[in-house]
Amino acid sequence: MKIAVIGSTMMDIVSYTDEMPQAGETRRVSGFHIASGGKGANQAIAAAKLGADVVMMTSVGDDMFGEQSRKNFQNHHIDMSLVKTAKDTSNGIATIVVDESGQNRILINPGANEKLRPEDIEGAAEELSKCGLFVLQLEVPLETVYAAIRFAKAHDIKVLLNPAPASRKLSLDMACQCDFFVPNETELSILVDKPVDTIENVKDAAKSLVKKGLSNVIVTMGSRGSLLVTGEETQLVPSLKVDAVDSTGAGDAFIGCFVDTYARTEDVLGSMQRASQYAALSVTRKGTQDSYADAEEFAGFLDA
């Protein structure tokens, strides 16, 4: 099953510090690096590293970061036929601060991602219709996400929507057309305006979405694991216990591994279990895409 990831491409500018600065405070960093990122690109790279057949649909800047993004896709053997360059536009940029516990804070400048438009979906109809699964996020315009969902439903293509960053403007009617809805616990809380401080509260919040028409809600909860809620079942998939170094991009690692596994097996719970293990491995390493293991490394981790 070919996977189309339709979404964002960023360049991550990452600083590491012993603790987050307070308002008005200046702190020295303990480490710094620049790396390719963006939720769409992260998910595509994770899936491709594991062996998935991925086409990336995105918009990059006509600057050095846009060129670097293109080379990154090429290096990971991702189909780039639907990657467009936006003229006179900077690439998307994410400024990330990570503290010593591995928690992060992120600021985003969307840049060229804003130039991925609904007409691009129709313009790529021939290539997109060959795919069996669309993977979407919310770092590109909502109308583009909606166009992708409509196209998928018209062509009997499954859709996974990762509602990140969370937006209350997201149409529930459009979300309910997706086969998988995959927020993290914070995004879930924002979308349903309910607390998620306990597993039971997460279950209640997810069930409220299922009652509104969503078919498969998968909530990623970091060290608490992941939760599947449908109209028929509620299943908790535990996370592996690891020493976290950097949680940046862990949710994208989960989704990349989930879609790689699901595209081959169509086993939802099995895909969640494997994705939880893959995400756990990613947080033991610094960076986003740099922390994602390839198939051989992941197999070694599971054996160990």
Strand-pair partners of 62: none
As a whole number of angstroms, the distance between CA 194 and CA 201 comes to 8
According to DSSP, residue 184 is labeled B
- Local structure of 234: helix, strand or coil: strand
Residue 252 annotated to the active site: yes
In this structure, the dihedral spanned by the alpha carbons of residues 241, 245, 251 and 255, taken in order and rounded to 10 degrees, is -70
Is the separation of the CB atoms in 93 and 13 below 8 Å?
A: yes
Q: Which of 252, 260, 294, 303 is catalytic?
A: 252
Closest to 260 in 3D by CA, of 85, 83, 74, 2: 2
Q: Which residues contact 162 (CB under 8 A, 6 or more apart)?
A: 39, 43, 135, 136, 137, 138, 182, 183, 251, 255
As a whole number of angstroms, the distance between CA 279 and CA 253 comes to 5
Q: How many CB atoms lie within 10 A of CB 170?
A: 16
Residue in the structure block whose two tokens are 């616990």:
185
Instruction: Please identify every residue annotated as catalytic.
Output: 252
